[in-house]
Structure 1
Amino acid sequence: MSERYYRDTLVHVDLESIHHNYKMIGSKHPDKTFIAVVKADSYGLGSDKVAHYLSERGVGYFAVATLDEAIDLRMHGIKDKILVLGIIRPEDINKAIQHRIAITAQGIEWVKEAKAHVDDKYEKEVWIHIKVNTGMNRYGTKNIEEIKEMIEEINTFERFIYEGIFSHLTSADMDNESTEMEMSAFKNVIGQVETPEYVHIQNSAGALCYDGDFCNAMRIGISLYGYYPSPFVESTSSIDLKPAIDLTAKVAAVHNLKSGESVSYGRTYTAESDETIATLPIGYADGFIRARTGSKVEINGHQCPVVGRVCMDSVMVKVPADVKVGDEAYLINKNPDSPQSMDIYSDYTETIPYESLTLLSKRIPRYYQGEDVHFVYNEVLK
């Protein structure tokens, strides 16, 4: 870990806001196991940092997308249960066994192939969660007879433990009938097969908007980090989430332009009068993409438009004449009412907070703050 960094651009991660969101969502479903989704490096916020903080505060189950991500958490000292939500190659089953990782089974052929690859190097069991396809048509099966056969194959093999069964909601963030249909389909499957320790279908939107009383676990991703999956969910839910990040950069240079002078590649922006242009040390290689031209950042309380083309490593903004080198700009503000809120930031490029978060490059240092926690992690100088 390195706290050194030599460019004034930071992602500020409020760990206590993440903890708050865990408590608020957990209080709505007190009898359910909270599975904290920390895939994609905790949506760009640092999976091992987030997982350690939450583990110390009661979270005992984490979920990731890949076996690589799960092993990485183990290598960083996470000892709690970890579930891989994606599908691993059957021939990699022994790696899951070695690192004590729960994995997803998508069909009977996968179960049989995985069994065939188990060797005696690690005399441990591996936990299996069966994936039910209730409409996503991405992974899993909806064939009840196949699910029963999978359970039989798992239960009759001494190295496999049938730990869970789950599905994924396609449209819980929308006002339609799909979610009720999918939950009903999953409940129908559950009623016809052996029930394992964990039954789960609710994602963030599902947990915020639905009860799902036939499930005893839930998987919370985007809302753990303080963001509602959609405006519909925000308007429907009574849970108050706290956004977890700010994105800041300090002014690195200031230029006084005369009328007719231009800015950046291609001279796409030309000053119509005398103007002041500030350069910020962030660009599309950091996740501040080229489509953000025209969006606004906040400097000293002023809303300042991005002008000219966004560069790989820097961006120029039109600012008041009194802005100087070292002044701080907010590109994303954790205040949900700010013009730089994550929702407004994402809407500008017609995307969603999920993508905006995961686009933030690892070359931007993360500044972590929380209860008795205060440090910077720089991936580049690790």
Structure 2
Amino acid sequence: MIALAEAGRVAARPMLRLDPAAVAHNVRVLRRTAGVPVLAAVKADGFGCGAEAVARAALGAGATWLGTTTLAEAVALRRAGLAARTLAWLHPVDADWETALRLRIDVAVPSADHLAALAAAARRLGVRAAAHLHVDTGMARDGASVPEWRRLVRAAAGARDAVEVVGVMGHLPCADLPGHPSTAAGIRAFAGAVAAARAAGLRPALRHLAATEAALHVPAARFDLVRVGAGLYGIGEGLREVATLTAPVVLTRRVRAGTPVGYGHTATAPRDTVLATLPVGFADGLPRSAVGAEVLLGGARRPVLGRISMDQVVVDAGPAGVPLGSVATVFGDGGPSVAEWAAWAGTNPHEVLTGVGARVVRS
């Protein structure tokens, strides 16, 4: 027998709820542990949780900087009324530097070509840009390589009329792997880059290399500022999860043992039971690759049966079943953690949290 929710009686939309108090707790833990100021990274719309709300909670708990990947993200914070010092760190050479300068957004500079474009924009406006020279300390990703670094610091020294180098930044690739040799090598490379900048006549007041894992566990990497992304959202030891994803039961059906479920019939009902359908799937951020996943429903952990679809997931609600409109906690607030979902999917918690789709209501 199938029971279907009546139109208008069940809000058949998943919801992601942010806990600002948990954000504040995490900032306080990270400040206390690192012993230096905290930059709250609210990139990717605050890891999918709402950049403005996360930023306000973080600043209220003592974070002194905000960080974004793109200029557009930083501009959105300014337009939301957030005046805190803000750094954006990934740009094409032809980025909208003039908007960044008008809104007093600090920018990362990974090459002499970027620096020349930034300096030209600053001269057009008659201002000085606040730049953080970005050095590659072992990622082979963003940031200047060692040969390019020499060119970059020389260019910066020659553009001091238009660009103030306020910081030097880098990133460690394996800070989450205790004792990994790349961490010590990255710290040495970073120190050498700072020394080269100073030898060129630059006087960066801020050195920042550590993200969450290094902020928590690598004292030598903390320097003058730590950039906290994952930890802000509860990903890390001693931190609180900040987000709860829920979804209502929109359909139930009573089935016999052995009934196949979902695409490919990869699972069958283990007994006579009630199946509950939730209107959330991989388009909403639940990894299709998850194996052994569970949700909290009706006061108990319930297994997900079969493959996760684009828009739906089926849960074994047990022989007694649950009423239509019952709300399942997919992760957070007493249910499975984001880290558990990451383990079930063979990925990291960052991907799970940032993957929550746009049609999920935020609150």
Shared fold by TM > 0.5?
A: yes
Contact 2:13 2:360 in 1 (8 A): no
Identical columns (%): 28
Contact 1:66 1:88 in 2 (8 A): no
Instruction: Return the offset for 1:117.
Output: 4.5
**2-structure distance, mates of 1:213, 1:285:** 38
Contact 2:65 2:84 in 1 (8 A): yes
Instruction: Return the offset for 1:55.
Output: 2.6
Contact 1:18 1:224 in 2 (8 A): yes
Q: Aligned residue for 2:171? A: 168
Contact 1:253 1:280 in 2 (8 A): yes
TM-score (norm 1): 0.84
Q: Aligned residue for 2:7? A: none
Deviations 1:93-114 (A, max 9, x none): 2121122211111122221233
Counterpart check, 1:140 vs 2:143:
yes
Instruction: Return the offset for 1:333.
Output: 2.4
**1-structure distance, mates of 2:312, 2:206:** 47
Instruction: Return the offset for 1:334.
Output: 4.6
Contact 1:293 1:310 in 2 (8 A): no
Instruction: Return the offset for 1:46.
Output: 0.7
Q: How does 1:328-347 map to 2 (within 5 A)?
A: 328-334=327-333, 340-347=336-343
Counterpart check, 1:24 vs 2:35:
no
Contact 2:266 2:307 in 1 (8 A): yes
Structure-2 change in CA distance of 1:132 and 1:272 (3 Å): closer
Instruction: Return the offset for 1:72.
Output: 1.1
**2-structure distance, mates of 1:80, 1:348:** 38
**1-structure distance, mates of 2:271, 2:221:** 63
Contact 1:202 1:212 in 2 (8 A): no
**2-structure distance, mates of 1:63, 1:308:** 39
Contact 2:98 2:122 in 1 (8 A): yes
Pairwise CA RMSD of aligned residues? 2.2
Consecutive unaligned residues of structure 2, counting only runs of 5 or more, are: 1-9
Instruction: Return the offset for 1:77.
Output: 1.3
Q: Aligned residue for 1:204? A: 212
- State which drifts further: 294-303 or 69-78: 294-303
Contact 1:285 1:313 in 2 (8 A): yes
Q: Secondary structure at the match of 2:346?
A: coil
**2-structure distance, mates of 1:98, 1:60:** 20
Instruction: Return the offset for 1:262.
Output: 3.6
**2-structure distance, mates of 1:189, 1:119:** 27
Contact 1:131 1:166 in 2 (8 A): yes
Q: Secondary structure at the match of 1:90?
A: coil
**2-structure distance, mates of 1:171, 1:275:** 46
Q: Aligned residue for 1:371? A: none
Q: Aligned residue for 1:364? A: 360
**2-structure distance, mates of 1:91, 1:348:** 39
Deviations 1:120-143 (A, max 9, x none): 3x4433211101111111122223
Q: Aligned residue for 2:287? A: 289
Q: Secondary structure at the match of 1:348?
A: helix
Q: Aligned residue for 2:348? A: 352
Instruction: Return the offset for 1:184.
Output: 1.5
Which AA in structure 2 matches 1:112? A
- State which drifts further: 295-304 or 219-228: 295-304
- State which drifts further: 357-366 or 322-331: 322-331
Instruction: Return the offset for 1:18.
Output: 0.8
Contact 2:285 2:355 in 1 (8 A): yes
Deviations 1:42-63 (A, max 9, x none): 1111101111222334323111
Structure-2 change in CA distance of 1:255 and 1:139 (3 Å): same
Consecutive unaligned residues of structure 1, counting only runs of 5 or more, are: 229-233, 235-239, 368-382
Contact 1:84 1:101 in 2 (8 A): yes
**2-structure distance, mates of 1:300, 1:64:** 39
Q: Aligned residue for 2:228? A: 220
